Chain A
Amino acid sequence: MKSDQRKNSWVASLRSQARQLSQIAMLVCVGALRARRPKGELLRQLYQVGNRSLLFVLVTLGFTGMVLVFQSCLQLSRVTGDLSQVGGEFIKYLVHEFGPSLTAMMLATRVGAGIAAEIGSMVVTEQVDALRMCGVEPVEYLLVPRFLATLMMTLLLAVFGVLSAVMMGAFTAHQTFHVPYSVFLDLSKVRLTDVLTGCVKALSYGAAIPIVSGFCGLSTHGGSEGVGWATTRAVVSSSFAVIVLDFLISALALLSWQSM
């Protein structure tokens, strides 16, 4: 009996959260289409999301590219000894899968946590209520600039991240396995569909991270401990959203491009 009640209340809470999340997503999308935005806020957010994450993304993707290429070359040299295909396959994989997804995971931790912490602390210090009392819709005022900035910057950072991983991978392959740069940097395997899939993924992640993190921030309660929980929840939920979207878009892309 008690477990039934607990299950029902869990389902009701999940439903209510899903409804709130979809309401926030709708308000953000409608707000993004309107031109009314606080002056200079979009530029500030572009700087916060883009410039301040650039080094983090470049270093993370650069090192991951080095590790992946090293491991791939090591295994291939043991099995076939032919390393001429490593670069082409690596770049193809980076463009449609690895580049946007890893960039988004990095942004989910840095930007998602930042959004949730900032909005969460505004909630617990009643600043969000103060916005409402000034006739401002907090979702539109706080989330729309962050949404637009993350949307644009995820795509741009994914491009830089891919470039960093490719360059560091080429350097590793050349230094450790003597693969010539001209052989490694083989773009013939990258098709337009790979680029399109990568772009769709980057844009979807860029939309999901601020909405999910903003929702976590706006549902903060319970003082500074609540802000901590909201931040953790934002990172976990944004990362989860990225993984689910990655699977869905990959599956859709596979079905769409195969049928073409």
Chain B
Amino acid sequence: QGFGQNFGGLQVSGDQPIAIESEALDVDDAQAVATFTGKVTVSQNETQLVADRLVVHYVRGAEGGAKPSAASAAPGGSGQIERLEAAGNVRVRAADQLASADNANFDMKSQVVVMNGNVVLTQGENVAEGCRLTIKMDTGVARLESACGGGNQGGNGRVKMVLTPGQGAAARN
């Protein structure tokens, strides 16, 4: 069962509270956008996302004109969030796995996370590098690519992976 095949921890479960901390938050209810800035950390049980900036696109009052007030709509229950865009030193930590990249986009509808720009996936001692990491949040399946457009970004187009033998068991617990 390959390393990094499933990035299990990243499931954003619907029935757990999410805690978000940052230095500031700007909510523009007219555009239905909430922007967290300054050491943003989003955590839910084991899963944690850290970034310099997090933009949350949420669904405003679905029933046509009725516009819920900014605060009650501002990234309401996870159900109301459409899309998250994290930018700047993005770290996603789940259980013993850590993925870091320049930015990450979470699409809550399709439950897919796309991290791109200097992607490094680490589990215990094992390290894999590429230019784009796509994670299916519901199944945890992760796919690391290294040939994404710009030649230099992904190095020579091959995924670089360092596996430290004998770590498998230790890393598992």
- Real binding pair: no
B interface with A by C-beta (< 8 Å): none
Interface, chain A (partner B; CB < 8 A): none
